[in-house]
């Protein structure tokens, strides 16, 4: 899904320190690479967002949102029916989170604040009740806990081919040995590069990819068994066990939380 953010790009400064009116922003997935001079918080009240940067892929169902610092090139992917609520913040109001992208936990309070703020006028009264609501929202964003749900992307171009191939076919059972033969690179070299560039082993990276790819389908209510096999797991129990280790809940519990 593509749309132009020309209205946002035309701004030389934000009309208020916190900007996010539901009708004044595209609030659609900008599938092309772009950046903003302000801090951005991308949140989906429904659906699952995928924010792609050079450093990695950040996945956020409605329990999470993605913080994007100023100047970071990124693009967005999501299903057509995803309901996005974007926030843009003056960088002077979000100094603690300026250095890198991150996935943040969205509490029920933060969710309600984001949705309520999106209905306020663009030129809301900064010194009245609307301004106080905006300040509480800012405080909650800065205080939100980080969630380690980023899929790191490697800098090495050979390894990038491996990761791009796995992202196209997350259910493939191609081994690292098979990839090494395809790329004419030793398996030992690829193993070393995976750890150096991503901090994960090949198996751990592929497993995180598969589990993150499972989130949009679970959010849409797909049967857990179908999701497990489509993600490349040979048994439902193996999928549930891996999912619980990463997310601390079972796939069924995750889907019920969203519902």
Domain that holds residue 92: 6-150
Instruction: Let me know if residue 26 belongs to a domain.
Output: yes
pTM over 0.75: yes
145 and 166 assigned to the same domain: no
Domain-ending residue, one of 102, 122, 150? 150
For residue 27, tell me if it sits in a domain: yes
227 and 118 in one domain? no
Residue 166 belongs to some domain of the structure:
yes
Same domain flag for 66 and 91? yes
**Over 80: is that where the pLDDT of 12 sits?**
no
- How far apart CA 62 and CA 83 sit, in angstroms, is 10
* Between 81 and 59, the higher pLDDT residue: 59
CATH, residue 167: 1.10.10.60
Give yes or no for residue 3 having a pLDDT over 50: no
Domain boundary among 103, 131, 150: 150
pLDDT 10s digits, 163-187: 999 999 988 888 999 999 999 999 9
CATH of the domain at 107: 2.60.120.280
What confidence score (pLDDT) does residue 1 get? 32
Residue 4's pLDDT is what?
A: 38
Mean pLDDT of the chain: 87
Specify the higher pLDDT residue, 241 or 77.
241
Q: Are residues 113 and 194 in the same domain?
A: no
Q: Which residue has the higher pLDDT, 59 or 7?
A: 59
184 and 116 in a common domain: no
Q: Is residue 1 domain-resident?
A: no
200-219, pLDDT tens digit by residue? 999 999 999 999 999 989 98
* Torsion region of 213: left, alpha or beta (phi above 0 gives left; psi -120 to 50 gives alpha): alpha
Quote the pLDDT of residue 85: 85
Q: Does 29 score more than 60 pLDDT?
A: no
Task: Please give the tally of structural domains in the chain.
Answer: 2
My answer on whether 159 and 133 are in the same domain is no
- Shared-domain flag, residues 177 and 250: yes
- Count CA atoms within 13 Å of residue 194 on its CB side: 21
Q: Judge if 138 and 209 occupy the same domain.
A: no
208 and 132 both lie in a single domain: no
Q: Which of 150, 173, 199 is the last residue of a domain?
A: 150
The answer as to whether 233 is a domain residue is: yes
* Phi/psi at 32 (5° precision): -95, 160
Q: Which pLDDT belongs to residue 235?
A: 92
Q: What is the 3-state secondary structure (H, E, C) of the chain?
A: CCCCCHHHHCCCCCCCCEECCCCCCCCCCCCCCECCCCEEEEEEEECCEEEECCCEEEEECCCEEEEECCCCCEEEECCCCCEEEEEEECHHHCHHHCCCCEEEECCHHHHHHHHHHCCCCCCCCCCCHHHHHHHHHHHHHHHCCEECCEEECCCCHHHHHHHHHHHHCCCCCCCHHHHHHHHCCCHHHHHHHHHHHHCCCHHHHHHHHHHHHHHHHHHCCCCHHHHHHHCCCCCHHHHHHHHHHHHCCCHHHHHHHHC
Angle of helix 202-219 relative to helix 187-198, nearest 10 degrees? 60
Q: What mean pLDDT comes out for the span 73-82?
A: 85
Is the pLDDT higher at 146 or at 81? 146
Q: What is the mean pLDDT of residues 122-139?
A: 92
Residue 144 forms part of a structural domain: yes
Please compute the mean of the pLDDT values over residues 47-73 and round it to a whole number. Answer: 91
Query: Does residue 160 surpass a pLDDT of 90?
Result: yes
Judged against a pLDDT cut of 70, whether residue 154 lies above it is answered with: yes
* Average pLDDT of span 57-62: 91
Establish if 60 belongs to a structural domain. Answer: yes
Report pLDDT for 100.
86
The confidence band for 34, taking pLDDT boundaries of 50, 70 and 90, is confident
Residues 77, 180, single domain; the answer is no
Higher-scoring residue by pLDDT: 34, 146: 146
Residues 98 and 174 in one domain: no
216 with 171, same domain: the answer is yes
Quick one: how far is CA 69 from the chain centroid? 14
């Amino acid at each position: 899904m593509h749309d132009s953010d020309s209205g946002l790009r035309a701004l030389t400064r934000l009309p208020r320190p916190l900007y996010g009116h539901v009708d004044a922003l595209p609030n659609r997935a900008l599938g092309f690479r772009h950046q903003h001079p302000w801090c951005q918080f991308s949140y989906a009240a429904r659906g699952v967002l995928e924010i792609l940067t050079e450093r990695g892929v950040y996945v956020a169902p409605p329990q999470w949102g993605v913080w994007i610092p100023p100047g970071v090139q990124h693009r967005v992917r999501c299903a057509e029916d995803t309901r996005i609520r974007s926030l843009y913040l003056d960088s002077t109001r979000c100094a603690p989170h300026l250095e890198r992208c991150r996935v943040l936990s969205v509490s029920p309070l933060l969710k309600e604040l984001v949705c309520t703020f999106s209905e306020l006028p663009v030129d809301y009264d900064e010194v009245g009740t609307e301004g106080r609501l905006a300040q509480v929202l800012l405080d909650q964003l800065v205080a939100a806990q980080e969630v380690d749900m980023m899929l790191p992307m490697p800098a090495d171009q050979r390894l990038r081919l491996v990761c791009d191939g796995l992202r196209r076919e997350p259910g493939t059972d191609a081994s690292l040995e098979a990839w090494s033969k395809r790329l004419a690179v030793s398996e030992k070299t690829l193993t070393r590069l995976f750890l150096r560039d991503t901090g994960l082993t090949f198996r751990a990276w592929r497993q995180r990819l598969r589990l993150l790819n499972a989130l949009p389908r679970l959010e849409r209510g797909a049967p857990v068994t179908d999701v497990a096999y489509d993600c490349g797991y040979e048994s439902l129990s193996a999928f549930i066990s891996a999912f619980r280790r990463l997310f601390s809940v079972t796939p069924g519990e995750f889907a019920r939380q969203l519902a």
